[in-house]
Structure 1
Amino acid sequence: MTDLPPLNGLRAFDVAGRRLNFRAAAEDLGVTQGAVAQQVRLLEAHLGVRLFDRLPKGLALTSAGRTYHARIEHAFAEMRDATAQLRPEPGKVLISVTPTFASKWLIPNLPDFSAKHPDIDLRILATENVSSFHSDGIDLAVRQGKPPFGASLAATLLFRQDVIAVAAPALVDGENLPLRPEALARLPKIHDTHNLWPDVLAQAGVTDQSTRSLQLSQTALAVDAAASGQGVALVSRFLVSGDIETGKLIDLGYRASTGAQDFYLLSPRKAGLNDAVGTVVSWLASYATEN
């Protein structure tokens, strides 16, 4: 700490460097103009460098002062951000979900949550990575898996993994449903990272006879491709229930065995839940059950 300049001087310099006026800086800091000027003089004496040119109607940063101020201003901004992340914000809830869950279920259902709980700021972190409750500052996470998830996490089941084969109506126009295995084998397939098609075709007793296929990195993209008529996709039923109801997609009558990789809502067990987080948990659990 002995290598650091006086922190009060740095604070006065930061504000004065932005306002370029000791009087305006004093108003921002809630002190007198003389106190700000004195703190800046002490800082300049400590550094052995003149930071400001004193002008008749204000201040101007010297070349050294301008360079130094850019770094000091950034340092104070970093401290403010770190403090803001550490200090809980009432009514703010950060939930980590996969991009597919976000785009195909959570975001379409957010109007219901916003109407019921307008006072809660629900923020969504959509990522395929496993988020950390501690380092990423998240309050809740939705992930696929099989319990137990660890003694430190509470888990609430949201959706069973019921994977179905779906396609645009035009792709199977004239075919009777459920689709015959031979007809399914001939249709173009849309693959994602879960790679469930080999199991589905094996269960149907056929091999893939399609002349084209599409490989995509996310299930959400596979759903969009299926809706546009690009082929047949395998996806959890709850993610496409709305598209099936509106007729954009139809269920072809085939299911995949996935080893019970169900969807769970996870939260830290040790700290308990504040009111806002508890409200989000209750809404997710009840809305998932109803839909």
Structure 2
Amino acid sequence: MAHPRRLPPIHALLAFESAARLGGFAQAAAELCVTPSAVSHRIRQLESQLGELLFDRSPTGVRLSAAGQRYLGKVHEAFDKLAPLARDEEPPELRLRVGAPPTFARNLLIPRLPDFYRHRPDIEIEVAVEAPMQDKPERRDIDIRFGSGRFDERMSIKLFEDETVALTTPTYVSKRALVQAQDLKRADLLRSPLLPWRPWFVAAGLSWPEPARGPSFTDLGILLEAAASGLGVALCTRRVAERWTESGQLQPLFGIGVPAASTYYALVQHEHAQRPEVAAFLAWLRAAFA
């Protein structure tokens, strides 16, 4: 009587193939919507069954071993043979609606989306731009909000820490002779209800009140465009201002940065967080802004 074949678990094979293709356990975890430790456990389970190490592990990451390279070819052959057994019908289309403020959508999200589609081309993303500071903005599957983390009853996931800096153009610095923080008395201070000046004043050793006059903007991108146009000095967070500072349009002033009380968060209903497309996008967001 023939003994039953001892086949490797399919979830272990999927974890191995994904980690090998994407170059790491964290990337495989994002694709498979599991934790990196789960991917590591599945691959160790496979290595134990095979009696060989499939990855060389080091403090800087993992890479396929010689045995792993040989085994990957066999796994691809097996997957190719199994593919025709799948039903011909198309899998259900995964759609994800994401709401985001215009500055986040334009400068932080859209430039990174090609990376998401390289990992998950099966998920169709619909990005809806939401005007900041709406009383009751429409809710999507995932909403990106700027604030302190207290928004509504949904799960709130901080995307990154940030700090606020004062910024203006090199020309404005020269024209107003801005050498030290107190020289801002000669400057036009641009305002936003999203980011008050007072905490920055305190860090700069200035006992000035919150500015009560001057142009005010409810969108951070428009605030930065105003500063880049020479209207004055803006206060904004470093991550949001990256496009303007990297291009040289704006420069941070005086080497003073203050931990930002507000930054960007992803909001999602608790019961929706485990949907495959939602979990995959949230895992990718965390990794993209880590």
TM over 0.5: yes
2:96 and 2:125 in contact (8 A); partners too = yes
Q: Secondary structure of the residue that 1:242 maps to in structure 2?
A: helix
CA distances 1:227-250 after superposition (whole Å, capped 9, x unpaired) = 222211111111112322222221
Provide the residue aligned with 2:110 in structure 1: 107
Determine the structure 1 residue equivalent to 2:154: 153
Question: Closer, same or farther in 2 for the Cα pair 1:109/1:272, shift >3 Å?
Answer: closer
Is 2:136 aligned against 1:95?
Answer: no
Give, in whole Å, the separation in 2 of the partners of 1:242 and 1:100: 11
Deviations 1:212-265 (A, max 9, x none): 94222321100111122221111111111232222222111233465x333221
Q: Distance in 2 between matches of 1:139 and 1:272?
A: 9
Structure 2 residue runs without a partner (length 5+)? 1-91
Per the alignment, residue 235 of structure 1 pairs with 236
In structure 2, relative to structure 1, the CA distance for the partners of 1:130 and 1:207 (3 Å cut) is closer
Please report the TM-score for the alignment, with normalisation by the length of structure 1.
0.56
Shift of 1:139: 0.8
Partner of 1:19: none
Distance 1:144 1:257 in 2: 15
Alignment of 1:178-197 (within 5 A): 179-194=179-194, 196-197=196-197
| Structure 1 letter corresponding to 2:167 | V
The aligned residue for residue 125 of structure 2 is 122
Provide closer, same or farther for how the CA distance between residues 262 and 217 of structure 1 changes in structure 2, counting only shifts above 3 A.
Answer: closer
Call closer, same or farther: CA 1:115–1:225 in 2, change over 3 Å. Answer: farther
Point out the more displaced range, 93-102 or 249-258.
249-258
**Where do residues 1-291 of structure 1 align in structure 2 (5 Å cutoff)?**
90-127=93-130, 128=132, 129=134, 136=138, 138-147=140-149, 153-173=154-174, 179-194=179-194, 196-204=196-204, 205=206, 207=208, 213-252=214-253, 253-256=255-258, 260-289=261-290
- The amino acid of 1:275's aligned partner reads P
Distance in 2 between residues matched to 1:248 and 1:111, nearest whole Å: 26
Identity %: 26
The Cα offsets for residues 10-64 of structure 1, whole Å up to 9 and x where unpaired, read as xxxxxxxxxxxxxxxxxxxxxxxxxxxxxxxxxxxxxxxxxxxxxxxxxxxxxxx
**Where does the alignment leave 5 or more consecutive residues of structure 1 unmatched?**
1-88
Distance 1:283 1:271, change over 3 A: closer
Name the SS of the counterpart of 2:200 in structure 1: helix
**3-state SS of the aligned residue for 2:235?**
strand
Task: Supply the distance in 2 between the matched residues of 1:196 and 1:254 (Cα, whole angstroms).
Answer: 15
Amino acid of the residue matched to residue 227 of structure 1? Answer: A
Q: What is aligned with 1:15? A: none
Distance 2:139 2:196 in 1: 34
CA distance in 1, matches of 2:113, 2:135: 23
Q: Answer yes or no: is the 8 Å Cα contact 1:103–1:220 preserved in 2.
A: no
CA RMSD of aligned residues (A): 3.1
Secondary structure of the 1:96 match is: strand
Number of residue pairs aligned between Structure 1 and Structure 2: 193
Whichever of the two has the greater Rg, that structure is: 1
Q: Give the structure 2 partner of residue 17 of structure 1.
A: none
Q: Give the whole-Å Cα distance in 1 for the aligned partners of 2:228 and 2:246.
A: 13
Aligned partners of 2:177 and 2:183 also within 8 Å: no
**How has the CA–CA distance of structure 1 residues 174 and 215 changed in structure 2, closer, same or farther, with 3 Å as cutoff?**
closer
Q: Is the 8 A contact 2:158 2:265 kept in 1?
A: yes
Give, in whole Å, the separation in 2 of the partners of 1:137 and 1:199: 32
